[in-house]
Copies of this chain bind each other. A is one copy, B any other.
Amino acid sequence: MDPPPPLPLPPPRSYRRIILILKLLTIVFLLAALVVLATDTETIELSNKTEFIILRIHFKDMYTYRYMLGVCVIGMAYTLLQIVFSFYNIRTGKRLSNPTFDFYGDKLLSYILATGAAAGFGATSDMQSTFQRVNLLGNFFKRGYAASALVLFGFVYAALLSIFSYYALPQKV
């Protein structure tokens, strides 16, 4: 039988601070995306000779924006948990979480955020070009782009974290 793999060296203090900063950036950008999305609404006034209709379009009317909102909530919940782990680690030098859990969790989160940003950009670009012909919903889709860009930044930080969490894995057998 092989001996068990050696335990990983505790990461240096500066490295743990970089990880904490990346986690804080992730949560801030996802929170900003959530606020932009949740307040994304536009009122359309349509009229012909006989009728006058007021339509209120909300983020809920787009499947993709609902998905993005879900992605932001999941991302914030997971990152908040990771921030608690980080603070504990910086204070005590001990780990509350398992490096393997972090590795797969960070990897999964970065994929989820990538799909949120991509779905947002994809749906916004095609919907905007469709409604542009009738000069409608310009601001609604501008905010949709802004939310997608914020989720994209969240993804970049999460992807960097997922590389860091690889380096925190124990030695392989």
List the interface of chain A (C-beta within 8 A of B): 62-64, 67, 110-111, 114-123, 125-127, 129-130, 159, 166-167, 169, 171-172
Contacts and interface: CB of A to CB of B under 8 A. Distances in A.
B63 A126 contact: yes
Number of this chain's copies in the complex: 2
A161 to B, nearest CB: 13
A62 B117 contact: no
Contact of A122 (B64, B159, B166, B172): B64
Contacts of A111: 110-111, 114, 159
Contacts of A62: 126
Nearest to A166: B166
A89 to B, nearest CB: 19
A87 B96 CA distance: 43
A118 B151 CA distance: 13
